[in-house]
Structure 1
Amino acid sequence: MKNANNTYVFPIATETIKEYEETDVQELGQRYIDLFEFYLQDDIASKFRKMLVIEQYSSPRAAELFNEIFIDMPLNYITILFTVLIQNGKFIHSDASIMALNFYSPLFLLLFKNDSATTEFEQLKSLLTNHIEVFIQNHANPEK
């Protein structure tokens, strides 16, 4: 999920899903932890996210961008990714869109908890790591 500039972004093109077909689900979990860390600690990414949060209430375009970047794109991408993982037998059969919602919602919450609370980053990262580990335990196909 690094782009050409070595910065983390949510993947936009679904073609990148193919890159994950052979990826271990544990490695995939680590990629989301790295992505979370980037969006919290990269100064430009953090300021951009905070600006969109504030401006979404006065600018329809900012609201559109916020929803696209931080809600719709990640959920769509993760749904497609989980669909592939289910089809490849790495995840148990389930509704991929609900799985994506269950997976991404805590990431989204912790991202914004960082902005509004005094919780330390390492504590948030630990919560996220535990969430991803439990999610994988609950959804990984034990036969793979």
Structure 2
Amino acid sequence: MTNKRMEQGDTEQAQDHDMPEGEEVDMPEKYDEISLKDFAGYSKSMFLYWTEDDFASSFRKMLTLEQFRSEEMQQLYQQYLVSGPSEYVKDLFEHMGISPAKELAAQFYAVMFFFYSMYDGAKDKDEVKKQFETTLDEFTKKLLVGERMTHLFRNLILSWRKTGS
């Protein structure tokens, strides 16, 4: 029951932000439509969901503790809080042309995961939210610059190949 409720919550969050709610193989066209701006907004919303929604926050904390007690809880922990989100971000980055997608997805999700922990222990939770948003905005800017540079270099190489110089 708890797992189904989490799946429903995740799906609703994705739908509310016009993000793919399934795997890439099931909806590649949806992945192709996502911009970095869309992704950043969704990520901020997911941070609030996982930290401020009573059910999602309790579920996250429960999985963090229970992952060491049973294989089932370890799998759920991976699905919702580690490999699942990291793979989702990697797939989105690949479709956005952000490279290296796997490494940047790990870096991005490390920020999310770190701030979940900071939020849980903070007295001033609003300050942690601000820090998270600032960090996410800076990370997104760096990705955008990298994406533009990659596009520029690709165009230069293609131009160079066409002219034979």
TM-score bracket for the superposition, by shorter chain length: 0.7 to 0.9
**Which residue matches 1:127?**
131
Q: Considering Cα pairs closer than 8 Å and 6+ residues apart, tell me whether 1 or 2 has the greater RCO.
A: 1
Secondary structure (helix, strand or coil) at the match of 2:122 reads coil
User: CA separation of 1:119/1:104 partners in 2, compared to 1, >3 Å: closer, same or farther?
Assistant: farther
Report if aligned partners of 1:52, 1:66 keep a CA contact under 8 Å in 2: yes
2:60 is equivalent to residue 54 of structure 1: no
Letter in 2 for 1:39: W
**Which residue matches 1:37?**
48
Residue identity over aligned pairs, in percent, reads 21
State the shift of 1:6 in Å: 7.6
Report if aligned partners of 1:56, 1:66 keep a CA contact under 8 Å in 2: yes
Count of matched residue pairs: 136
User: CA separation of 1:69/1:4 partners in 2, compared to 1, >3 Å: closer, same or farther?
Assistant: closer
Structure number with higher helix proportion: 2
**Which residue matches 2:102?**
97
Structure 1, unaligned stretches of length 5 or more? Answer: none
The 10-residue stretch of structure 1 (98-107 or 134-143) with the greater mean CA deviation from structure 2: 134-143
State the shift of 1:34 in Å: 0.4
Aligned CA-pair RMSD: 2.7
Structure 2, unaligned stretches of length 5 or more? Answer: 1-7, 15-19, 152-165
Letter in 1 for 2:71: P
2:118 is equivalent to residue 113 of structure 1: yes
TM-score, normalised to structure 2's length? 0.70
Report if aligned partners of 1:114, 1:121 keep a CA contact under 8 Å in 2: yes
